[in-house]
């Protein structure tokens, strides 16, 4: 039995741990009702949940300005976390990592320059700070499942690139995945944040057809890494 209240408590604890450990520069308040847990945008309608293509620099800036994120990570990248619940079960999720489009200089952040100021500065000036990094998104959308569109999948580089996943993923496993692969030093230095990462939510959903190509699987037992 899963409730949005329980999911809210778990997400809130994880985001607070990221902030307290210095892995996040900022976290956003969470919005919760009887069906969905997500972030609280500054406008009443989020500009993210209807967006299926990858981010441009301008989209990144709009999301930053509107608070369309759960956390701004230490390098300006965004975490966007949404879970849906129906009849006591997770019925969908959209967990996205949006890299900052530029390699921000930590010294300038320490001097008090905002992320928005630095991105606009880099946009206006010749720079080698451009970071061509793909967003990473784990989606669970069983209602849309069909050949070529697994119920649970990882999307990278292109909206048509959907790599099947064995099950819907737990938020702590998603954040562990992001830091393990993109921030390995911070992942190593903060084992207390990632030590209790859960594996998945709900049941295994991968079908035989999805197993004919490379897919993503992980232990379905609770792990410590």
For the segment 47-96, what is each residue's pLDDT rounded down to a tens digit? 554 455 666 888 899 999 999 999 999 999 999 999 999 998 999 999 99
Per the structure, the count of domains in the chain is: 2
Segment 209-222 shows an average pLDDT of 82
Residue 173 forms part of a structural domain? yes
Out of 83, 111, 130, pick the residue that ends a domain: 130
- Give the range among 40-54, 75-89, 96-110, 124-138 with minimum mean pLDDT: 40-54
Q: Are 113 and 71 in contact (CB under 8 A)?
A: no
Structure tokens at 40: 């609280």
Residue 12: what are its φ and ψ, rounded to 5°? -65, -40
Neighbours of 157 (CB within 10 A): 10
pLDDT for the residue 125? 81
Based on the domain organization, do 118 and 156 belong to the same domain?
Answer: no
DSSP state of 54: P
Average pLDDT, the chain: 88
Residue 121 forms part of a structural domain? yes
Q: Are 40 and 70 in contact (CB under 8 A)?
A: no
pLDDT at 127 over 90: no
Chain-centre distance for alpha carbon 183: 14
Based on the domain organization, do 112 and 65 belong to the same domain?
Answer: no
Rounded to whole angstroms, how far apart are CA atoms 121 and 86?
45
Which residues lie below 8 Å from residue 124, measured CB to CB, with a gap of 6+? none
Based on the domain organization, do 25 and 115 belong to the same domain?
Answer: no
Residue 133 Ramachandran class (φ > 0 left, ψ -120 to 50 alpha, else beta): beta
Residue 223 confidence class, pLDDT cut points 50, 70, 90: very low
What pTM does this model have? 0.90
Closest Cα to residue 80, out of 55, 117, 114, 103? 55
Residue 220 forms part of a structural domain? no
- Give the 3-state secondary structure of residue 158: coil
Based on the domain organization, do 186 and 147 belong to the same domain?
Answer: yes
Opening angle at CA 14, ends 95 and 72, nearest 5? 60
Closest Cα to residue 16, out of 27, 32, 31? 27
Question: What is the percent of the chain where pLDDT is above 70?
Answer: 91
Residue 219 forms part of a structural domain? no
Rounded to whole angstroms, how far apart are CA atoms 10 and 189?
22
| Domain containing residue 109 | 103-130
Q: Are 186 and 74 in contact (CB under 8 A)?
A: yes
């Amino acid at each position: 039995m899963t409730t949005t209240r329980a999911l809210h408590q778990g997400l809130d604890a994880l985001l607070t741990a990221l902030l307290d450990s210095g892995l996040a520069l900022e976290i956003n308040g969470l919005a919760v009702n009887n069906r969905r847990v997500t972030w609280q945008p500054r406008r009443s309608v989020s500009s993210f949940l209807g967006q299926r293509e990858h981010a441009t620099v301008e989209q990144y800036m709009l999301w930053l300005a509107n608070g369309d994120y759960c956390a701004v990570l230490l390098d300006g990248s965004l975490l966007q976390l949404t879970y849906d619940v129906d009849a006591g079960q997770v019925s969908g999720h959209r967990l996205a990592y949006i890299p900052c489009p530029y390699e921000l200089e930590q010294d300038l952040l320490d001097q008090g320059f905002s992320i928005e100021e630095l991105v606009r500065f880099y946009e206006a000036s010749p720079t080698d700070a451009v970071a061509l990094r793909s967003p990473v998104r784990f989606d669970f959308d069983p209602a849309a499942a069909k050949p070529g569109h697994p119920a649970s999948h990882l999307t990278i580089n292109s909206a048509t690139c959907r790599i099947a996943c064995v099950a819907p993923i737990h938020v702590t496993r998603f954040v562990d995945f992001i830091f393990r692969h993109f921030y390995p030093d911070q992942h190593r230095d903060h084992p207390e944040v990632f030590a209790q990462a859960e594996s998945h939510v709900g049941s295994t959903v991968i079908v035989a057809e999805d197993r004919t190509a490379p897919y993503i699987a992980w232990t379905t037992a609770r792990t410590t890494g």
